Amino acid sequence: MGHHEHDHHPPMPPGTLVAGHLPAIPALVRRRPRIAVVGGSLTGPVLALLLIQAGFDQVAVYEANPDLPTATGGVLSLEHTALDVLDRLDIAQHEYVKDGFETITQIRGYGPHDQRHRRRTYPGRFTTWTLLHHALAARLPTGVVQHGRRIADMTAERGRPMLHFTDGGREPADLVAYCDGRTSVGRRLLDPARRLHYAGYIAHRGTASTRPDDLDDFQRWEPCPGVQFNLAPVPGGADWIFFLNATAQQYTDWFGAPPRQRVYATTAQVSPAARDHVDAQAAAHLPAHLADLVHATSGRAALPVLDIAPPTRMAWPVGDGHACLLGDALAPPRAHTARGAVNGIEQADGLVTALRQHTRHGADLTGALLGWRRRHLLTAVAAVRQGPTIGARLGLGTRIDRP
Q: What contacts 144, CB < 8 A, 6 or more positions away? A: 48, 52, 59, 60, 61
pLDDT score, position 47: 98
- Classify residue 187 as exposed, middle or buried by CB count within 10 Å of its CB (0-12, 13-18, 19+): buried
- The answer to whether the beta carbons of residues 216 and 226 sit under 8 Å apart is no
Tell whether the torsion through CA atoms of 281, 283, 287 and 291 is positive or negative. positive
From the list 363, 331, 334, the residue with the least C-alpha distance to 346 is 331
Given a cut of 50, the residues of the chain with pLDDT beneath it are 1-30, 399-403
Tell whether the torsion through CA atoms of 93, 293, 205 and 119 is positive or negative. positive
pLDDT score, position 31: 53
pLDDT score, position 251: 98
201 DSSP β-pair partners: 245
Q: Looking at the chain, which residues constitute the CATH 3.30.9.60 domain(s)? A: 100-128+197-307
Cα 330 to Cα 384: distance, rounded to the nearest angstrom: 10
Q: What contacts 68, CB < 8 A, 6 or more positions away? A: 40, 41, 133, 147
pLDDT score, position 384: 97
How crowded is residue 261: how many other Cβ atoms within 10 Å of its Cβ? 16
pLDDT score, position 123: 97
pLDDT score, position 21: 44
From the list 65, 42, 58, 62, the residue with the least C-alpha distance to 139 is 42
HEC letters along 18-36: CCCCCCCCCCCCCCCCCEE
pLDDT score, position 328: 98
Q: Strands 237-245 and 197-208: what pairing?
A: antiparallel
Pick the CATH number of 100-128+197-307 from 2.60.40.10, 3.40.1190.20, 1.20.1630.10, 3.30.9.60: 3.30.9.60
Q: Strands 145-147 and 59-63: what pairing?
A: parallel
pLDDT score, position 20: 38
Tell me the per-residue pLDDT of 87-101, one tens digit each, with 9 for 90 and over. Answer: 999 999 999 999 999
Give the architecture-level CATH label for domain 35-88+131-196+309-393: 3-Layer(bba) Sandwich (3.50)
pLDDT score, position 398: 64
Q: Looking at the chain, which residues constitute the CATH 3.50.50.60 domain(s)? A: 35-88+131-196+309-393
pLDDT score, position 1: 39
